[in-house]
Every structure is written in structure tokens, then in C-alpha cells.
Chain A
């Protein structure tokens, strides 16, 4: 019954012949899908350490499903459902945000595949709706990585004033985001 199988598969018992190829394929699919999950999570938490922790949580929770050898589309659906739940838990724990307070785009939106490609555009669209000063302070600080001191020098202002402006600009940007 193993005549047609490649030599490497004839080495193992019949019960493994049925399991291992499916498992290996599922693991490969899972890793590729987890790349998308990682990008999705990173785009929301903005740092590698948290993104890695949360992606790992998603992977560990999804293992039983991954083992079923489902199609990539079904795996993706399950992984992103898990990712949304894990992100919900993250914001809830770190910020005390309740599910009701979570903005749809933070955790609940169904991502397109591949996700985040329009990410930079979305951020630009948000920035474009801010006043010149607010946009400038966020661009310099986040996109160019300026320190507060450098931003203050660029904008002929003081560190204290820039700090306040940064908070107001972030609040204003968060409101724009809701309307997008």
C-alpha cells in the first residue's frame, strides 16, 4: 500500500504517513498567515515586543485548529478572529478599555489580505485632516523621529509647549480616525 509513496514517507508508520504531511503543510500555511497577523497587530501596538507576545498568543490558541489541516482561508479567518480577541484583551489590560470603548479599527475590523498595505496612506489621510501645527508636530515626532527638543527648535517653540501640542494633536488625530 506504500508503493506509490516517495521513499522518505515509506520510512514511517502508516498512521504517521497520514498525519505528518498534513501537519507540516498546516504549519507552513500557519506561519505565512501568522506573518499577516503580526503585521496586523504591529500596526496597532506600534512595538515589536508587544506584537511578538500577542502573535505568539494567537498562534498558541490556534494550534488545535491549525492541526485540522484546514484551507488557508479558513485558517486566516480563525487566526484573525483570535487576533482581535487577543488585542481586545491587551487594550483592556493595559488601558482599562472596555470592549464597548474599543474603537472598531483597533481590534474589531476585519482585515483585508494582505493587511496594512494602505496603512501609511491611512495615517497620511488622518494627518491631512489636522491643523498645520498638529500635523507638523506629529510628522516630526513620529515619522521623522525628532526629539521634543528638536521639534521645539524646528517650530520655534518650547519643549513644554510642544509636549502639550503633541497631546492635543494625538487627541485630535484620534477623533479624525473615528470619522474615517
Chain B
């Protein structure tokens, strides 16, 4: 039987070893204890923490290499659906963006069919919280799982606007793009009524009789 003190101590031990917060269920008091533990673990390091130099460098590169939005219209950026070379001149970018409007890329909302595909065990059904997105990886396929009762659906973890990883914003109940203010419902529909983005590709998922969740991914 996993008692609360054991669960919380596992989290404390991980924090003190510098590991990520891996949290499990618990009552409100247990959750409060865990957030307190995170604060105490941070205080252990003394004053304000600074970024690791390697991380700061990565961040600087990410800031530098992201597409230069002010040089193109929002509409052009949305229809292009791809990152554009930052050094290109403004006219070239818009021209290229418009050409790409007609370029077939992938079927919006269609299923991801990896060849050869492989059903990969990614989670237990019991581990999925109702209505909460869970990020999983099946070989080369990244997906967010959503449980509704005994059924599970999955969409790709890659945004249809810029090829960036989405993240689950539990507060809003949406998948948010990490590169741009774009959001999707758990069904993969874009939430922007003005400039709707293509629907996220569905990822094939099944639940086994043993209660395991499998995603069609790659070896």
C-alpha cells in the first residue's frame, strides 16, 4: 500500500537529487505539501538561481532563429505554416509565403500512418486523468492522449502552424503552441475563429483488454 508519506518522500528525494517533479494523485493537503517541498528544495540553493550557461546559450539561439514576424503579415505566416529563413529580405519572404499557400503539405486532421508502424505501449488507462492531456512518445510519433471514460483519443504533439511542440495547458483545457499564440482543443481543432489553423493530425490509439494504452508509432 502506497502511503502518502511514502509518495511525498519519493518526490522530496527526487527534488533533492535535482530531478524533475513527478507527481501523483493525492488530496489537497498532499498537493500543498508537494508545492511546499518544491519551494524548500529551491531555497536549498541559496539566493536567486541563474540559468546554466549552456541553457542560456540555447535560449539565445532559439530567440535568434525564430522567424521574424514583423516582416510578414500574420495572415502570410499562418498560411505558410512553416518557419522561414530569418535572413531573407522582406519581399522574398512574402512572395515565398504566398507560393507555399498552394503547396500540398499534409492532410489536415488526417491520421498519422507511420510505415512501418508499430503499436507501442505508452501508458496504463488508469494513469490517464479524465479530460487531461498526457504527452507520450511512440518511437518517432509524439502525441497527446485524452481519456473520456473508457475511450482514449490522441492527436499529434506538433503544431500545424510552426513545427513546434505543443504543451497541455490544463488550466485552459487546451493544447498551446510553444512558438506562437495558437491553441487547439483536445479534438485538435484550432481555437482562433479569425485565422483558424489546420486541424491537428489524429494519432491512432487503442486500449488493450489488459487496460494498457497503445499508440501506433514507429519501432
A contact residues vs B (CB 8 Å cutoff)? 13, 15-16, 19, 23, 27, 30-31, 34-35, 38-39, 42-52, 55-57, 59-61, 63-64, 66-68, 85, 88-89, 91-99, 101, 103, 106, 114-117, 119-120, 122-123, 138, 141-143, 145, 148, 163-164, 166-167, 170-171, 173-175, 177
For B33, give its contact among A34, A55, A120, A170 (CB under 8 Å).
A170
Q: Which 8 A-B pairs have the closest CB atoms?
A: A92-B170, A46-B41, A174-B32, A170-B33, A46-B38, A39-B48, A123-B43, A142-B40
| A59-B59, A59-B62, A167-B4 known; A142+B52 contact, CB < 8 A | no
Chain B residues closer than 8 Å to A15, beta-carbon distance: 89-90
Asked whether A167 lies within 8 Å of B33 as measured between CB atoms, the reply is: yes
Asked whether A163 lies within 8 Å of B9 as measured between CB atoms, the reply is: yes
B contact residues vs A (CB 8 Å cutoff)? 4-6, 8-9, 12, 15-16, 18-23, 25, 28-52, 55-56, 58-60, 62-64, 66, 68-71, 89-90, 129, 132-133, 164, 167-172, 176, 178-181
For A38, give its contact among B41, B51, B62 (CB under 8 Å).
B51
Considering the chains assembled together, what is the distance between the CA atoms of A56 and B59 in angstroms? 7
Chain A residues closer than 8 Å to B44, beta-carbon distance: 142-143, 145
Asked whether B20 lies within 8 Å of A88 as measured between CB atoms, the reply is: no
Asked whether B42 lies within 8 Å of A119 as measured between CB atoms, the reply is: yes
Asked whether B52 lies within 8 Å of A30 as measured between CB atoms, the reply is: no
Chain A residues closer than 8 Å to B129, beta-carbon distance: 96
Select from chain B the residue with minimum beta-carbon distance to A173: B36
| A38-B50, A59-B59, A167-B4 known; A119+B43 contact, CB < 8 A | yes
Chain A residues closer than 8 Å to B40, beta-carbon distance: 46, 123, 138, 142-143, 170, 173
Considering the chains assembled together, what is the distance between the CA atoms of A95 and B179 in angstroms? 25
For B19, give its contact among A47, A91, A120 (CB under 8 Å).
A47
Asked whether A116 lies within 8 Å of B48 as measured between CB atoms, the reply is: yes
Asked whether B41 lies within 8 Å of A171 as measured between CB atoms, the reply is: no
Asked whether A145 lies within 8 Å of B9 as measured between CB atoms, the reply is: no
Asked whether A167 lies within 8 Å of B5 as measured between CB atoms, the reply is: yes
Considering the chains assembled together, what is the distance between the CA atoms of A119 and B47 in angstroms? 7
Chain A residues closer than 8 Å to B68, beta-carbon distance: 19, 23, 67
Asked whether A142 lies within 8 Å of B170 as measured between CB atoms, the reply is: no
